[in-house]
Chains A and B, each alone.
Chain A
């Protein structure tokens, strides 16, 4: 899913533990949002570019396999929920921002927002169930954290350009997907791991 010169966000439904392996060619659950790559401002030095600072960079996430495996189930669950919660508002605003430009893109952005919401609520329910069953201990649901970080973050993501926003979104979605897979294979390894 490659846009002409933009970035595409493909989000897969991770509602349930069992992920359906889909053929790349028939990405039913994939929503592609394309935005035009903005004119990059001339870089200060030709070595580096304008760095993107995603508003979720403050959330500590494991960036390699060892670190991810070292984390406990509860911590993983927390990270997942934090990420998902953090994207609720930015996506809404993103949609609003796109509306005057292109209705279609705005609709797709809205669709993306709904999918993220679905994933979040699903994960929340599963995590609560697991907690009930004793599979995991206490974890922070992540609902309270956005309020704490809201003021600082709100400015950050508003500054983000559309294209950068999509980049950040794509990365975070990939993270969430991977963490969920790790969690699944740790708890129920018989489900296709």
Chain B
């Protein structure tokens, strides 16, 4: 080549280290200096300069051995192969070749790199057969050129510690919804070369994400799993995601290529829509409910409720329910009779006073005002002349009335009545024992009415009797009294004529009996006292009993009262007449003593069917005659009884029993 000598002076320390041009320039410089030296300039300085340049020339020109290469790194992607890279040193200007040699684990055998090309320039690739794990590789790179060769520093390599896997593959990001809010689900796969299945390598992963435009990455560590959820995601933004991995002893892989995802705007999951819907329905319901509640109060304020009719003491509901089977029951209030604490104002406490006055009239005081058939039979003094009929079916009462004074009578009557009531109830079955002499008992001149309930048991509801209190029975009794039409009482007054004297008394007993216990036939009079006063043409309305009664059949022409026992059996008016006449005690008039008293004696046992006076119909009444007849002398003078036929037995008679 032709050197072009530059005109200007070349400074000796200007050494260009460029390639061939540079070296040639140096050569020229050295030559020039040499020439100068020969001209005999300053010798010492020249000498130094020369020395300097010769050395420099020798070095810079690379005409010598190559520079020292350096091993940069060795890596294994899957712990089965590995690659080493080196960096070549400055070459000496000569073509340099590099070689890699290695020693394995304390052996002296030197091996050379099997593959320089697979991994690229300045690399060495060790394949599977060449690679041993847990073996120390001592690797050296040698650079060689014409001038010499240079060795790099040796490096110890153990494949187990230099594993750096490839990046994870198939990184996918999906936008998913969790209770209406979006989140990102990232999933990936391990690098395909790394053998995880057999357990040869264990990889752990790292993930990072950021919103597009952000500076900082957000890092997450899923560990060994291959999916991960990112929840802090905003709608309408784009997100970038990257994943990398690392073996348990090794190096991190490179970050995977960025995966970009956009979260759509107004992302509302289905569950969120459902939530909104439910909430709105709730609101609507609450509003409707409020309106409904207010509606009620509005109604009340606009249309105040009309108070319904109310009758004191009247139970509407029961009436409506139809539990009252009869009209009478409708008027009944279950709680009656009220207790003593009840308000008396509401009640009209009635005294039922039935006493016989005048011509066959039964006057009733205040009897008609019975409301709830609460009645109290008041004992009446026994008057001698009152002519009041007495209602008493028991001799006991009679005795008492007779023996006691008027005042006492009053009180005794009350007591007696109770006692008698008790007796009656006890002796329900047993009326025969009642020896009734037919003496009407007038306590206080009033008829004591007794419930006929007591007597005619066989035919009527026996069970009803005990249930009712005596008071109730009295009630019924009294009621029947009230309903008892005046004058309806029939009597077997034989005669209305005056021939009746006080010495006899008559009473008739109706065989008929009105059922009183029956609630249905409440219209029927409750039979009560044995004394039934009846007119001739009146019907016999009441009757009862098991007690034996003597009835006056007739008065014969001798002024004798014919008595006949009445059959014991009781019958309802409707039923007709039954009964076997049972043998019972009866009174038989023995005679009249000088005191103008009718002496009666009790007799036993009258029989004969024919004796039954069946008063089923009136027509019969006068036809039948009991066989037994007692004759009572009649004293004309005394009329101990009123025209209606009641006899004041208290004053008139004594009954021998």
Q: Within A1-50, which residues are at the interface with B (CB < 8 Å)?
A: 10, 12, 19, 21, 23-24, 46-49
Q: A65 touching B200 by the CB < 8 A rule?
A: yes
Q: B156 touching A49 by the CB < 8 A rule?
A: yes
Q: B132 touching A182 by the CB < 8 A rule?
A: no
Which of A23, A171, A175, A178 has the largest count of B CB atoms less than 10 A from its CB? Answer: A178
B106 within 8 A of A: yes
Give me 11 other A-B pairs in contact (C-beta within 8 A), A46-B151, A178-B160, A193-B198 excluded: A19-B202, A49-B138, A63-B132, A64-B131, A65-B79, A65-B198, A65-B200, A66-B128, A182-B199, A183-B199, A193-B197
A192 CA to B202 CA, complexed, in Å: 9
A51 within 8 A of B: yes
Q: B151 touching A184 by the CB < 8 A rule?
A: no
Q: A175 touching B134 by the CB < 8 A rule?
A: yes
Q: B128 touching A64 by the CB < 8 A rule?
A: yes
A139 CA to B511 CA, complexed, in Å: 124
Q: Is the interface of B mostly helix, strand, loop or mixed?
A: loop
Which residues of B sit under 8 angstroms from A65, Cβ to Cβ?
79-80, 195, 198, 200
A52 within 8 A of B: yes
B140 within 8 A of A: yes
21 contacts between A and B (CB under 8 A): A19-B202, A21-B223, A21-B248, A24-B204, A47-B103, A47-B110, A47-B151, A47-B154, A48-B108, A49-B156, A51-B105, A51-B106, A63-B133, A63-B134, A64-B128, A65-B79, A65-B198, A174-B249, A178-B160, A182-B199, A185-B199
B284 within 8 A of A: no
A47 CA to B155 CA, complexed, in Å: 10
Q: B80 touching A185 by the CB < 8 A rule?
A: no
A61 within 8 A of B: yes
Q: Which residue of B lies closest to A53 (CB)?
A: B106
B427 within 8 A of A: no
Q: A64 touching B106 by the CB < 8 A rule?
A: no
A69 within 8 A of B: yes
A88 within 8 A of B: no
Mask, A175-193, CB within 8 Å of B = 1, is 1011001111110010011
A174 CA to B79 CA, complexed, in Å: 13
Mask, B140-158, CB within 8 Å of A = 1, is 1000000000010010101
Instruction: Tally chain A residues at the interface, Cβ within 8 Å.
Output: 34
B388 within 8 A of A: no
A19 CA to B249 CA, complexed, in Å: 14
B224 within 8 A of A: yes
Q: B224 touching A64 by the CB < 8 A rule?
A: no
Q: A182 touching B249 by the CB < 8 A rule?
A: no
Quick one: which of A52, A64, A177 contacts B132, CB cutoff 8 A?
A64
A136 within 8 A of B: no
Q: B196 touching A174 by the CB < 8 A rule?
A: no
A98 within 8 A of B: no
Q: B134 touching A171 by the CB < 8 A rule?
A: yes
A47 CA to B103 CA, complexed, in Å: 9
B13 within 8 A of A: no
Which residues of A sit under 8 angstroms from B248, Cβ to Cβ?
12, 21, 177
| Shortest beta-carbon distance from A83 to chain B in Å | 11
Quick one: which of A23, A61, A64, A185 contacts B198, CB cutoff 8 A?
A185
Q: B199 touching A47 by the CB < 8 A rule?
A: no
Q: Which residue of B lies closest to A66 (CB)?
A: B128
A4 CA to B105 CA, complexed, in Å: 24
B135 within 8 A of A: yes
Q: Which residue of A lies closest to B223 (CB)?
A: A21
Q: A21 touching B224 by the CB < 8 A rule?
A: yes
A160 within 8 A of B: no
Which residues of B sit under 8 angstroms from A64, Cβ to Cβ?
80, 128, 131-133
